[in-house]
Structure 1
Amino acid sequence: MRLAELSGRSGVPTATIKYYLRERLLPPGERVTTTTAEYSDAHLRRLRLVRALVQVGKMPVATAREVLAAVEDESLDHHMRLGAAVWALPHGPAPAEETPEAAAARRTADELLHRLGWRYGAEQGAASPAYGMLVNALAALARLGYPHTVEDVLPYGRIAGELAVADLDLVEEYETPAEQVEAAVALTVLLEPVLLSLRRLAETEESHRRFRGDA
């Protein structure tokens, strides 16, 4: 397909597509003449991913480029490629090394992963951005006097395990490894607002059941 058709099928203006091409967020098309190029369904998929990162995820172009580089790294096996792409997403600051809360939060996080049987996550430890997010969150709970023990957060870990199964079931519906990696990144960005909204709606329902009854 030519640029105009790619724009029409994706809903992305041609000027924006040209910008993505200049910024190396979208691979170049196959050159037909000196002024035109041919684009494929792979470009259409990549455009959807770029829009998820930049427009929905509000990701800076430089960060999006790093994520896409991980998506394209065919030197890794499928598991490592999925992990590298998701790790490249923004995860917030690393935990502070010097605070007692952070040290205690690391112990809690390690015990939590052990209780959940998440051996691979435990082996990654501090190298994992998601582990750093968990430590920061547990430290904030402790600092502000809210529940933060392993027993307090273990139910959330078990629910997260079920969510991971649902996530990868969706990813496996895509045919090729490249499509699966792209889908894993896009769904990580796009489904997190869905999870947050569903949690708040569920809390509204449960609050009504507990505290309002039939009133």
Structure 2
Amino acid sequence: MRLAELSERSGLPTATIKYYLREQLLPPGVLVSAKQAEYGEEHLRRLRLVRALIQIGRMPIATAREVLTAIDDESLDQNDRLGMAVGALPPGPAQPDQDDRATAAARREADLLLDSLGWTNCEDASSGPYRALVTALAALAALGYPHDLDHLVPYAQQATRLAAHDLDMVQEYESPSEQIEAAVALTVLYEPILLSLRRLAHSRESTLRHGTRATGPSTA
């Protein structure tokens, strides 16, 4: 397909597509003349992913490029490609203070939690999710809210089931590259759904427990 058709099918203006090409977020098409290129379904799929990262996930161009580079690195096995691509996504909360005593205590608690779950391969102090976990635990401790194993393990158990469901969805795609792209897109797009469903569930549970409708939309 030519650029105009790619624009029509993707729903993105040609100027935006050209910008993504310049920023190396979209691989170049196959030249059919000095000024025209041909694009395929892989370009359409990549545009949808870029749109999810930048327009919906609010990801900076440089970060999106890092994620896409990991997706395209065929020198890695599938597990490493998936880990690098998802690991390049923004971690969320602010990063922990390496010199803070509360952070050191939170790191010990995080390691204890992961060890108790058998997630010993997750204790990479440089990974975004691990650092975000440490930051959150330190904040809970500082404010006096529960952050012991009894309170945390149920969340981890639910996360395990969700991870299995996520990978089941990813494996519905045929090629390894499509699977990696889907894993990244679903991570970005499903996290708001998880947050929304959790808050809606809170509203529903409050209604059931207290007999009056909690603040927020009814889920009845």
**Equivalent position of 1:98 in the other structure:** 99
> C-alpha displacement at 1:33, in angstroms?
0.4
Higher relative contact order (CA 8 A, sep 6+): 1
Pairing 1:18-33 to 2, within 5 Å after superposition: 18-33=18-33
Aligned-residue identity in percent: 63
**Equivalent position of 1:160 in the other structure:** 159
> C-alpha displacement at 1:60, in angstroms?
1.1
Q: Deviations over 1:102-152 (max 9, x none)?
A: 111111111111111213213xx2132111010000001111111111221
> 1: CA distance between counterparts of 2:62 and 2:99?
30
- Does the 8 A contact of 1:71 with 1:85 survive in 2? yes
Pairing 1:172-187 to 2, within 5 Å after superposition: 172-187=171-186
> 1: CA distance between counterparts of 2:150 and 2:107?
15
> 1: CA distance between counterparts of 2:191 and 2:131?
18
Q: Deviations over 1:160-185 (max 9, x none)?
A: 11110111011001100000000111
Instruction: State the secondary structure of the residue aligned to 1:63.
Output: helix
- Does the 8 A contact of 1:57 with 1:189 survive in 2? yes
Letter in 1 for 2:83: G
> 1: CA distance between counterparts of 2:168 and 2:120?
21
Whether 1:68 aligns to 2:102 is: no
Query: With structure 1 as the length reference, what TM-score do the two structures score?
Result: 0.95
Letter in 2 for 1:168: L
- Does the 8 A contact of 1:109 with 1:150 survive in 2? no
> 2: CA distance between counterparts of 1:160 and 1:213?
30
> C-alpha displacement at 1:82, in angstroms?
0.3
**Equivalent position of 1:80 in the other structure:** 80
- After the TM superposition, list the runs of 4 or more consecutive aligned residues in structure 1 that deviate by more than 3 angstroms: none
Query: With structure 2 as the length reference, what TM-score do the two structures score?
Result: 0.93
**Equivalent position of 1:140 in the other structure:** 139
Please, what is the CA RMSD of the aligned residues? 1.5
Q: Any gaps of 5 or more consecutive residues in structure 1? A: none
Q: Deviations over 1:79-108 (max 9, x none)?
A: 000000011111144321111211111111
**Equivalent position of 2:217 in the other structure:** none
